[in-house]
């Protein structure tokens, strides 16, 4: 059994008199430690899918099996525990708390789980050992995103979910952030899912899942993913 198995996942939203399937009969599998790119244009249904995988939203039908458990069957309470203990999130606009330092932002996440990574160690792993006392406003966009990644990994999540993590960053800074995410999968064995509309990121994934109009159009398995240094966008 694969680490993640999504089977016939559908999410239907009401839309005026009718309904819209933001996800329609989506199925795929992800192995532990893979870096997966979910690629699609705006409105394709990527965030809906990521939010379902992260237990932030529930689907309308289908199975969402994570490490042997179908989270689509979880109660609200079980979903809260799943989000807290098993999932790390990274968003496009960082979502840091402005009046807490980098270290305090990371501690906010690490303190809520039992088996956490030390906040300073998490910040060091994203190259910010010397910025732990800085507030978000004193950091560049790329540095703020690295704090957000440190906050996500400090929980030692089973699954790291990233929604457009380079969307607000310039090219070089975006590459640094993606490099950190690829290293997490390659060196630490973390399972990392990156949602993006940027096709230039596709070569770095062990797997690329193409989403269009709420459906899987194509899945590419890449035995030799590209190194970040070779990317151009
Ligand atoms: N809460 C919601 N209520 C109604 N429609 C929604 C809601 N969230 C998303 N949608 C619709 O679902 C579709 C997919 O949205 P989304 O998953 O955000 O796409 P993406 O992240 O790929 O841009 C869009 O048509 C969007 O308008
Ligand atoms: Mg989105």
- Give the mean pLDDT of the chain: 95
Ligand 1 atom showing the smallest separation from residue 40 Cα: 22
Please give the pLDDT value at position 197.
96
Please give the pLDDT value at position 79.
97
CA of 49 to the centre of ligand 1 (A): 10
Please give the pLDDT value at position 139.
97
The torsion angles phi and psi of 201, rounded to 5 degrees, stand at -80, -15
Distance between CA atoms of residues 180 and 90, nearest Å: 12
Please give the pLDDT value at position 173.
87
Please give the pLDDT value at position 232.
77
Please give the pLDDT value at position 172.
85
CA angle 72, 205, 37 (to 5 degrees): 40
Ligand 1 atom showing the smallest separation from residue 50 Cα: 17
Q: Reply yes or no on whether the pLDDT at 73 is more than 80.
A: yes
Please give the pLDDT value at position 148.
96
Provide the pLDDT confidence category of residue 74 given band limits of 50, 70 and 90: very high
Please give the pLDDT value at position 169.
87
Distance between CA atoms of residues 207 and 115, nearest Å: 29
Whether 40 lines ligand 1, by a CB cut-off of 6 Å, is: yes
Neighbouring residues of 115: CB distance < 8 A, sequence distance ≥ 6: 156
Q: Reply yes or no on whether the pLDDT at 233 is more than 80.
A: no
Whether 22 lines ligand 1, by a CB cut-off of 6 Å, is: yes
Neighbours of ion ligand 2 (CB under 5 A): 47
Ligand 1 atom showing the smallest separation from residue 11 Cα: 12
CA of 216 to the centre of ligand 1 (A): 15
Q: How many CA atoms, within 13 angstroms, populate the side-chain half-sphere of residue 57?
A: 19
The CATH number of the domain covering residues in 32-60+81-230: 3.40.50.300
Could you say which ligand is closest to the alpha carbon of residue 22?
1
Mean pLDDT of 153-158: 91
Ligand 1 atom showing the smallest separation from residue 197 Cα: 22
Q: What is the pLDDT of residues 98-139, one digit of tens each?
A: 999 999 999 999 998 888 899 999 999 999 999 999 999 999
Q: Reply yes or no on whether the pLDDT at 229 is more than 90.
A: no
Q: What is the pLDDT of residues 170-216, one digit of tens each?
A: 888 889 889 999 988 998 889 999 999 999 999 999 999 999 999 99
Residue with the two structure tokens 């030799």: 224
CA of 58 to the centre of ligand 1 (A): 14
Whether 23 lines ligand 1, by a CB cut-off of 6 Å, is: no
Q: What is the pLDDT of residues 32-67, one digit of tens each?
A: 999 999 999 999 999 999 999 999 999 999 999 999
CA angle 219, 191, 112 (to 5 degrees): 140
Whether 41 lines ligand 1, by a CB cut-off of 6 Å, is: no
């Amino acid at each position: 059994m694969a680490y993640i198995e999504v089977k016939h996942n559908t999410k239907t939203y009401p839309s005026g008199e009718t309904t819209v399937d933001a996800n329609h009969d989506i199925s795929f599998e992800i192995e532990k430690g893979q870096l997966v790119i979910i690629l699609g244009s705006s409105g394709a249904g990527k965030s809906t899918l990521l939010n379902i995988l992260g237990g932030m939203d529930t689907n309308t039908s289908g199975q969402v099996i994570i490490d042997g458990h179908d989270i689509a069957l979880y109660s609200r309470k079980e979903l809260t525990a799943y989000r807290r203990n098993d999932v790390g999130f990274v968003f496009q606009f960082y979502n840091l708390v402005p009046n807490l330092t980098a270290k305090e932002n990371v501690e906010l996440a690490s303190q809520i789980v039992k088996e956490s990574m030390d906040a300073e160690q998490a910040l060091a792993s994203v190259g910010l050992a010397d910025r732990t006392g800085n507030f978000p406003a004193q950091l560049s966009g790329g540095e703020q995103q690295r704090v957000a990644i440190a906050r996500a990994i400090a929980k030692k999540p089973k699954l790291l979910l990233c929604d457009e993590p380079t969307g607000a960053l310039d090219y070089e800074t975006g590459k640094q952030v993606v490099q950190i995410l690829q290293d997490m999968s390659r060196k630490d064995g973390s399972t990392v899912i990156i949602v993006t509309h940027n096709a230039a990121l596709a070569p770095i994934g062990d797997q690329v899942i193409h989403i269009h109009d709420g459906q899987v159009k194509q899945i590419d398995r890449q035995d030799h993913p590209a190194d970040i240094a070779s990317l151009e966008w």
